[in-house]
Amino acid sequence: MFQYRKITNDMYYIGANDRRISLFESAYPVPYGISYNSYFVDDKKTVVLDTVDKSVAKTYFENISALLKGRTLDYLIINHMEPDHSAMIDELISKYPQVKIVCNQKSKGLILQFCHACYEDQFLIVNEGDILNTGSHTFSFYFAPMVHWPEVMVTYDSLDKVLYSADAFGTFGALSGNLFADETDFFNKGIDEARRYYTNIVGKYGPQVSALLKKAESLDISMICALHGPIFRKDLNKIIEKYLKWATYTPEDKEVVIAYASIYGNTENAAQILANLLAEKGIRVNMYDTSVTHYSEILSQCFRCSHVILAAPTYNGGLFTSMEQLLSEIKAHNLSGRTFGFIENGSWGPLAAKIMKETVSNLKNSTILEPTVTVKSSLKEIQLESLADLANNIAGSI
C-alpha cells in the first residue's frame, strides 16, 4: 500500500526507509537504518525528483502510481547518479516510457553507463541556472560537482522555495514518520548521525560544499529536501551553520579525541592515564578503541573536536591495522586544522609514532604537540612524566 506524504500544496514525499541494512555503501554501519528520499510534484506536468535504492523500490512505485492516478509521468529530474538514488531509473522508464529525463551532460553519461532502458530523445539536458517550468512550478538547476559525485546538481523550486539538495544536508537514520527535522529532537539527537554522514560521505570535499553553500545564499530557501534523512523547514540557519563549519574543517568544540589501538592493554593504559590527566584539568575527552568503534564514528568526532591524540602499537614493522585504517580515513577525508599528539608502543623497534606523524604532517594546517610518548612494552615512571608534559601542552593549546 502506498505511503506517500504531503509536504506542500502539491509536493509529496515518495521515499522510503531501509532498517535492515547493516552497512550503507558496504562501509558504514547504520544502526538506525537509512532513508532514501524522493519527491513528487503534482503540477500541470508531473515531476519526480530522483529515484531510490533497489531495497525500497516497491514502496516507491506504489507511491508514484497512487499519485499519478493513471496519468503519465512527464519529468524525472536526476540530481545524483549514485545507485542509492538512481537504481530505479530503468524500471521507472519501463513503467513510464514517455518520461523525459532532466539532467546535466555528465549525468547523461553516467545514466548511459548504469542504465539500459533509456533512449536518446528521452533526455532534456540542463546547464547551470537553466529553468524548467512545469505549470505553476519553476525549477532551476545548480551544479554541485563532488558534493558527492562529479555530476551532482541541486534543484530549486521557486514556487515552494524548496532546495532539493541531493546528498548535501543528508543524514544517516531512517525516518520514523516525522519527516521534518523540527518534529524530532534533531539538533540534540540527530546531529551526531548527520555529522557522521557528512564527514564520511562528503567530508573530503569541503571546498566544493562551500561553493554550493555560496550558490545557495542567493536563493530564497524555505525548505531543504535532501536525499537522506529529514526535511529542514525551520531553523535553516542552524543546519547551515553546521555545514559552514564542517565544510571549512572548523572544530565545533574544544575537546580531545583519544583514539587508541592496543593488543595487550599497555597502549590503552597510557591513553587512559592521559585521559585522566586531561579530565583533571577540566578538559572534555572522548576516548575510542579503534578496534571496537567504527572508524566512521571516530572520524566524525575528529571533525567535531579540536584535538586528536592517536595511540598505537607497532605491528609487523608498521602500524596496528585498526589505527592504520583510521589514519587512512583521516587522510582521505582531508581533515585539517587539528592539533595532534601521539603515543606509540613497541617491544623491539617502536615505529608507530613515526608513521602516524608522517601522515598527519601531510594534512593541511595540522599542529603536532610534543612530546611523543614512547612506551616499550609496558609503562614505566619515565613515560608518566612524558604523559604529564603532553597533557600540559594539550591544556596549553586548547
Instruction: Considering only the stretches 12-20, 26-34, 142-150, 372-380, report the one whose residues sit in contact with Fe ion under the rule CB under 5 A.
Output: 142-150
Chain centroid to Cα 152, Å, comes to: 15
Work out which of 26, 116, 218, 348 binds ligand FMN, going by CB under 6 A: 348
Computed over its alpha carbons, how large is the radius of gyration of the chain? Answer: 24
Contact status: 196 vs Fe ion (CB under 5 A): no
Which of the 8 DSSP states describes residue 202?
I
Residue 199: closest CA among 372, 102, 334, 313: 334
Cell 585522566, residue?
276
Contact status: 97 vs ligand FMN (CB under 6 A): no
Work out which of 37, 46, 266, 290 binds ligand FMN, going by CB under 6 A: 266
Binding to ligand FMN by CB under 6 A, coded x per residue (else -) over 354-393, reads -----------------------x----------------
CB of 148 or CB of 307, closer to Fe ion? 148
Residue nearest to ligand FMN as judged by C-beta position = 346
Looking only at the bridges linking them, the beta strands covering 75-77 and 123-125 are unpaired
Work out which of 17, 38, 199, 267 binds ligand FMN, going by CB under 6 A: 267
Contact status: 82 vs Fe ion (CB under 5 A): yes
Instruction: Considering only the stretches 2-10, 132-140, 159-167, 322-330, report the one whose residues sit in contact with Fe ion under the rule CB under 5 A.
Output: 159-167
Rounded to whole angstroms, the Cα distance separating 143 from 127 reads: 8
| Residue 70 vs residues 42, 64, 67, 73, 255: alpha-carbon distances, Å | 13, 10, 8, 9, 57
Binding partner at 82 among Fe ion, ligand FMN, none, C-beta below 5 to 8 Å by kind:
Fe ion
CB of 199 or CB of 314, closer to ligand FMN? 314
Contact status: 329 vs Fe ion (CB under 5 A): no
Binding partner at 345 among Fe ion, ligand FMN, none, C-beta below 5 to 8 Å by kind:
ligand FMN
Cell 500541470, residue?
44
Binding to ligand FMN by CB under 6 A, coded x per residue (else -) over 199-228, reads ------------------------------
Question: Which residues, 6+ apart, have CB-to-CB distance to 267 below 8 Å?
Answer: 260, 261, 311, 312, 313, 343, 344, 345, 375
Question: Which residues, 6+ apart, have CB-to-CB distance to 224 below 8 Å?
Answer: 162, 163, 165, 169, 231, 232, 233, 236, 239
Instruction: Considering only the stretches 56-64, 112-120, 251-259, 315-323, report the one whose residues sit in contact with ligand FMN under the rule CB under 6 A.
Output: 315-323
Work out which of 50, 84, 157, 324 binds Fe ion, going by CB under 5 A: 84
Question: Which residues, 6+ apart, have CB-to-CB distance to 120 below 8 Å?
Answer: none
Q: What minimum distance in Å lies between the beta carbon of 116 and Fe ion?
A: 21
- Give the count of beta carbons closer than 10 Å to the beta carbon of residue 127: 10
Exposed/middle/buried for residue 119 (C-beta within 10 Å: 0-12, 13-18, 19+): exposed
**For binding to ligand FMN (CB under 6 A), which residues are involved?**
262-268, 313-317, 345-350, 377
List residues binding Fe ion (CB under 5 A).
Answer: 82, 84, 148, 167
